[in-house]
Every structure is written in C-alpha cells, then in structure tokens.
Amino acid sequence: MAAFITTLFGATGAHAQEAAETPGSETRGNDIVVTASRREQRLIDVPMSISALQQEDLDRQGVTSMHDLSRAVPDLVVVEAGPGQNRVFMRGIANGNSLTSLVGVYLDEIPVTGSSLGQPDLQMIDLERVEVLRGPQGTLYGQGSAGGTLRFITAKPDTTRASGAMEFTGYDTRYGDFSEKMTGHLNVPVVDDTFAVRVAGTLANIGGWIDQPDAGRSDINDQLMRHIRAKALWQASADLTIEGTVVVHRNEGHGVNVGADGDYDVYYPGGDPEARQSFRDDYTIYNGTLTYDFGGVQLLSSTSWMNTTRHNVGAAQKIVGVETFLDDSIGTKSFTQEARLSSTDAGPLHWVVGGFYTNEKLDRDLDVTLYTMGLVIESPSVTRQSSETISAFGDVSYDVTSALQLGVGLRYFHDTRHESNAALSQEGKFHSVNPRFYANLRVSEDVTIYANIAKGFRSGGFLGDADLSTYDPETVWSYELGTKGELGPVSWELAGYYSQYQDYQTFVMVSAVYGGVTNAGDAEVYGLDASLSLEPVSGLTLAASGNYTHTELTEVDAATVTNIAGDPLDFVPKYTVTGSAEYRFALTDSLPAFARVDFSQIGKSTITDRSYGLIRYPSDELSLLSARLGIAAQSWKFEIFANNLLNENGLQDPMAAIGLDTRAKPRTIGFTIGKSF
C-alpha cells in the first residue's frame, strides 16, 4: 500500500472535488448548460432527449465507467467484456455486427468512437459533465451515432488560479482481491490570464474476482491501469483560444471478465483446461483545437490523432462440440479534422456549418485455436482495413416567436473503404444523406415540448467471403416527441419514440471458422424513456428514471439463416428502472454531509442466431443496490460506499449462449478520502 501511494504521489494527481464543492451540493437540472447542439444552451432548451451528469453527480452515484453510466441513464446499454472491450448501444439500436459502432463517443471535440468490437476505456476524472444524447445524431456528429452520442466534457485549464485535488479509494470485492485507486488533478496558470496547464490522472491496482481452478489460478481478471490527461490552454488574444490535449492510457491484466459461472469460476472443458488469459489495452490521443471569434461568428478547428492497441488472449466461444481460444491483436490509427463556423449572436437565427475528414486504418492479427471432436486446429488470419471519409454538414434554427423554435439539419457522408487479407484486396464506396427536422415549444420559462425527426446511419463494409463482397449501409429513421421541465420542487423529462431500422447488418457463417456480415432486412423499434426528480422537503431529493423498449425484425432476407421476422434485436432489455434517495444534512456548521441510496433493475435481453440453434437466449433480470455516505471538512472529504449490496451475480448479457457472458461484479465495500486545494 505504501509503495502504491508513493508511486502515485511521485507521478500526477487525479480527480477530486474543488475546495468550493461539498458532498451534496447540487445544480438544478434546468440550470445546467450543455453544448449538445454545438452551442451553449440550457438543458431544457435543447430539442432532444438528453441526460447531463456533472462530475459531482457521477461521484455521488459511484459512476466510474461506461458500464456504470448505463445503469444511471435510461436507454443506454453497455455490453461489458473487459477494459477496452465494451460495446455501446442506445434506444434499441443495438447490433454488435460490423466493425463500426452505433453510438458516437466524443472526448471534448475529439471523436474517439471505437469499432463495434470495443470502445476506448475513457476515465471519468476531472470532467465538467457527461452528455448522453439519445436518438440519431448523424447531422452534427456523423457516422457511428445512429443510436445516439456520448460526450465527455473535460474541465478546462484555468488561467486565473492554481488548484488541485487528490483522492485515494480502497475497496474490497467479495470473492476477490483488495483494490486501490488514486486519482487527482492539478491546474497551474503559467502566465496569468493567458496560459495554463491542467493535468489529471489515475493509477489503479484493481483486484480480480474470477478464478480458474483447473489452472490453480485465482482472481485472474486483475488490472494495472495508468491514465494521464494533460491539457494546455493559450488565450492568445481576446478572440483567439488555442487548446492542446494529450491522453495516454495503459492497462494490462491476466484475464477478462467473460465466461465465469455462478461461482465466478472459469473452465475450458472442451479445450485446454489450463489455457491462460491475458489482455493489454493501450491508447494515445493528441488533439489541437483552435477557436476564433469574428464577432457574431465563431470558427472552430479540431485536429486529432489517435492510436490504439488491444491484445487479448482468451476464450472466444463455447458451444456444443466446439470451443475456441483466441490470440487477437487489433491496432488502429486514425486522423480526424473538423472545421465549423457557427453563429454566436443572440438573435432569432442560429446556424452551424462545417466539414469533417477522417482517415482510419485497422490491422488485425487473429490466431484461432479450434477444439472439436478431439481435434486441435490452428487457424491464423491477417486482416487490413482502411476507411477514408469526408462529410459536410449544416444546421439552422429560427425562433419564430419567443416560444417557438423550428430547425433543420443535413449531413452528406462519403466513405471509401479497403480491405485485404492474404488472398485478396477489395474496395467499396458508401454514401449517405442524413436530414434532421425539429421543433421546440416553450410552454413557460421552465417547461418545453419538443419534436424530432432524424436519420442515422452506419457505413457498409465487406462480407468476409472468398470474394470480399460488400454489404450496404444500415439506416435508422427516428421520430420523437417529448417534454421536459421543472415546476417548483419537481423536474421531469418524458420522451416517446418510433424508429425504422433498414438494411439491418447481421452476422452469417461464410466458412467453417470465420463469419461475416450481411444485410438481413428491416426492423422497427419503439419505446418510452422518462425521468423524475422531487424534493419533498429541504435536503431530501428523490429521483426515478426508466425506459421501455420494443424491438422486432419486420422483414428478413430469405437468404439470412440467423433470424426470421418477429425476432427481437439482440442485447436490448425490455425495460430498465432506477431509483435514488439522497439526504443532505450538516453534522455541525462546518461538517456538511450526505447519505445516498441507489437502486436499479435491468430487464432481460436476448440474442438470436438460428444458424446455431439459439432462439432468444436470455440474460438474467438484475437488481442492483448501492449506498454511499459522505462528510466534508473544509478541503477534506471522506466517503464510505457499498456497491451491489444484494450480491447479485446474474448474467448481465445473453452472450452466455456462446460462453462470452459476464456477471455482475460481486459486492464491494470501500472508502474514499480526498483533499483539494
């Protein structure tokens, strides 16, 4: 423990609250300012369904990962396999096929959307807020945002004062090892009012809780994670701001979170019982952002480079008579450039126009060991893919009256893709035109009604057969009607939506070992998501949220053997509900405190692959309870917490059908101590 703390103090700090913040302080929902529409607006004035959580909200709810976030936000689904291997879906647009994600992910102005095989393991430290934009966001955020967009807005360097904070968290996981985590940040104004640097980081030694008895190994899914983010801000003039960001993430461990049984044990009965797992998840991000105010018009230019490397060794699937073990290395390199002009006048006309370019390369070396009928078959493959995209977009809205706003947006997208293997090289070109229409009616200063019609898309690709045939892009048309508001101690958001999903991309077997992707047909999705917050007495806040989602394939290509009409889409729970109660009080005049309880229930989701005989194979219904108690003493804070108090260990997703399931993390009990200055 002492060596661990010394190591981190010798490196960099990580997230903790500023001295002015205290546990239990809050911001009313309608006072939160967001930039989901590429300009600053009150949350209530944004004509779309959006959740915004500030860093304090994340801390009090114990949200430290995308998977945690999915339990706090309606209609967000994260299928967890391990660090850097999360797949993210939203509003029933859930499809793990293809190499392209269905939910866009941004870190500030940096597009960090990973492939459908896994999103970068972003760390929720030193953030201003997280914005969760539900529904297609193709107009402003492009490809990869068919279901929605996640935006992680980091704290900016402050050129006026030095500040910092540091936290240590320790917790014990039932059946597993003790875990230690240090986080913190440091802000230094190098030149007053002109230039500042802000550094945030994490060092975590996360204990595992999954055993491999046949190999004599315990707690194999451990992690050693190092993460640092450095930002520099130069206020070159009153009109010109230049920001630079570097993010370095390194994580490694001896196993992932998949394949454990109800006792958190992993067995490989059809293969090598002593086969050893391991993983490495690294990424590096560089970004430069320039903002210039011409007076009424603002120019923003964002240039980004991102390199990722993932190396996973472990079980791939276990079905009757077949077990596979993978040695899988995936490396990606991407360059992106976005430039846009937007209006900043306070008048009734608001607009933004821009262009976007990206060049991405993916190299994958996959070695599959197949165990079947007493045979051991080695099957290596090398795949090289590239994608060069260019798009132009615009959005304009007009305040017809002080109460009514109407808007329209459009994006044109063109993608040139190449793929090659040991035998063949192929090129495919794909394009899409994606409009959005919206209206926002302000019933009062704190109550609005909005409507949205938007198109989202995901590019096409290569089937994976002997000819590298192409498959078409899939598209989603979504129709949404909602309301949000705040009346006295009550605030709410309610939205209903209907989506038409076309050219659904699905997995098919095209050889004995490898599979590919093709277009299966059409689907429909409809649902409802809602949130409600109430403060019945001073200091007590009660909140609830939830969603209901229905998905169904309505038309299936006759050549598709995986699904038939009427099948639900994979990975989508019918419902989720959450509830929380938080009480803020003072032990003394100088000791503010809070106590909080959170509960969430996630309904069953399914997967269907009739080529394997899998028909709506279900996950479990999960009930998760957590609690947290915190005390502040000037610049110090101390919290104790317990997650998964019920020790729920059900299946979090239906991938148990092929041995790739994950279970809820066992009960954890721990503490956090922090100091800010």
Report pLDDT digits (tens) over 176-226. Answer: 999 999 999 999 999 999 999 999 999 999 999 999 999 899 999 999 999
Nearest 5°: CA angle at 358, between 523 and 111?
70
Share of residues in the chain with pLDDT > 70 (%): 92
**Greatest mean pLDDT range, 30-39, 91-100, 305-314:** 305-314
Pairing of strands 470-471, 490-509: unpaired
Q: What is the pLDDT of residue 510?
A: 52
**Confidence category of residue 336, pLDDT binned at 50, 70, 90:** very high
Q: What is the pLDDT of residue 656?
A: 84
Arithmetic mean of pLDDT, 59-66: 90
Q: Which position has the higher pLDDT, 158 or 319? A: 158
Nearest 5°: CA angle at 297, between 295 and 303?
120
Q: What is the pLDDT of residue 16?
A: 36
**Confidence category of residue 467, pLDDT binned at 50, 70, 90:** low
Enter the DSSP assignment of 156.
Answer: P
Enter the DSSP assignment of 7.
Answer: H
Q: What is the pLDDT of residue 515?
A: 59
- List all residues 6 or more positions away from 586 whose beta carbon is below 8 Å from its beta carbon: 592, 593
**Domains in the chain, CATH or no CATH each:** 2-676 (2.40.170.20)
Q: Which position has the higher pLDDT, 260 or 317? A: 260
Tell me: pLDDT of 4 over 50: no
Q: What is the pLDDT of residues 137-160, one digit of tens each?
A: 989 998 778 889 999 999 999 999
- List all residues 6 or more positions away from 633 whose beta carbon is below 8 Å from its beta carbon: 590, 591
- List all residues 6 or more positions away from 558 whose beta carbon is below 8 Å from its beta carbon: none
**Confidence category of residue 276, pLDDT binned at 50, 70, 90:** confident
Arithmetic mean of pLDDT, 100-111: 90
Arithmetic mean of pLDDT, 305-331: 85
Q: What is the pLDDT of residue 509?
A: 58
Q: Which helix (H) or strand (E) holds 315?
A: strand 297-319
Q: What is the pLDDT of residue 17?
A: 35
Q: What is the pLDDT of residue 465?
A: 64
Tell me: pLDDT of 631 over 90: yes
Q: How would you write 243-272 as a 3-class SS string?
A: EEEEEEEEEEECCCCCCCCCCCECCCCCCC
The tokens for 273 are 């019982």
- Give CA separation, 567 vs 521, 550, 552, 608, in Å: 12, 11, 6, 7
The tokens for 317 are 């699937």
Instruction: Tell me the CB-side half-sphere exposure of residue 364, using CA atoms within 13 A.
Output: 17
Beta bridge partners of 130: 53, 152
* Mean of pLDDT over the chain: 88
Q: What is the pLDDT of residue 25?
A: 35
CB–CB of 388/361 below 8 Å?
Answer: no
Q: What is the pLDDT of residues 511-525, one digit of tens each?
A: 444 557 788 889 999
| Residue 677 neighbours by CB distance under 10 Å | 12
Q: What is the pLDDT of residue 5?
A: 34
The tokens for 468 are 């590298």
Nearest 5°: CA angle at 348, between 342 and 351?
20
- Which one-letter amino acid corresponds to residue 626? S
Query: Burial letters for 129-148: b for 16+ Cβ neighbours within 10 Å, e otherwise?
Result: bbbbbbbbbbbbbbbbbbbb
DSSP notation for 599-615:
EEEE---EEEETTTTEE
User: Any idea which of 14-28, 186-200, 455-469, 485-499 has the lowest mean pLDDT?
Assistant: 14-28
Pairing of strands 148-154, 103-107: parallel
Arithmetic mean of pLDDT, 643-655: 92
Please state the φ and ψ torsions of residue 236, each to the nearest 5 degrees.
-65, -35
**Confidence category of residue 14, pLDDT binned at 50, 70, 90:** very low
| Percent composition of the chain: helix, strand, coil (DSSP 3-state, to 5) | 5, 60, 35
Q: What is the pLDDT of residues 540-590, one digit of tens each?
A: 999 999 999 999 999 998 777 788 999 999 999 999 999 999 999 999 888
Tell me: pLDDT of 245 over 70: yes
Q: Which of 301, 308, 300 is nearest to 334 (CA)?
A: 308
- Please state, in angstroms and rounded to a whole number, the distance separating the CA atoms of residues 591 and 676: 16
Question: Exposed, middle or buried, 668 (CB in 10 Å: 0-12/13-18/19+)?
Answer: buried
Instruction: Let me know how long the chain is.
Output: 677
Tell me: pLDDT of 30 over 60: no
Q: Which of 236, 359, 366 is nearest to 291 (CA)?
A: 236
Tell me: pLDDT of 284 over 60: yes
The tokens for 332 are 């990606």
Q: What is the pLDDT of residue 15?
A: 35
The tokens for 292 are 């210039």
The tokens for 312 are 């996973």
CB–CB of 395/411 below 8 Å?
Answer: no
Nearest 5°: CA angle at 278, between 80 and 367?
95
Q: How far apart are the first and last CA of the chain?
A: 24
Q: Which helix (H) or strand (E) holds 223?
A: strand 223-235
- Please state, in angstroms and rounded to a whole number, the distance separating the CA atoms of residues 485 and 445: 9
- List all residues 6 or more positions away from 437 whose beta carbon is below 8 Å from its beta carbon: 407, 408, 409, 452, 453, 454
Tell me: pLDDT of 318 over 80: no
User: Any idea which of 265-269, 435-439, 476-480 has the lowest mean pLDDT?
Assistant: 265-269
Count of helix runs (H) and strand runs (E) in the chain: 4, 35
Q: What is the pLDDT of residue 470?
A: 84
Residue where the block lists tokens 């049984």:
261
Instruction: Tell me the CB-side half-sphere exposure of residue 301, using CA atoms within 13 A.
Output: 8
Q: What is the pLDDT of residue 464?
A: 64
- Which one-letter amino acid corresponds to residue 641? F
- Please state, in angstroms and rounded to a whole number, the distance separating the CA atoms of residues 617 and 647: 24
Arithmetic mean of pLDDT, 423-429: 86
Nearest 5°: CA angle at 269, between 267 and 274?
60
**Greatest mean pLDDT range, 73-77, 103-107, 153-157, 216-220:** 153-157
**Confidence category of residue 668, pLDDT binned at 50, 70, 90:** very high
Arithmetic mean of pLDDT, 76-86: 80
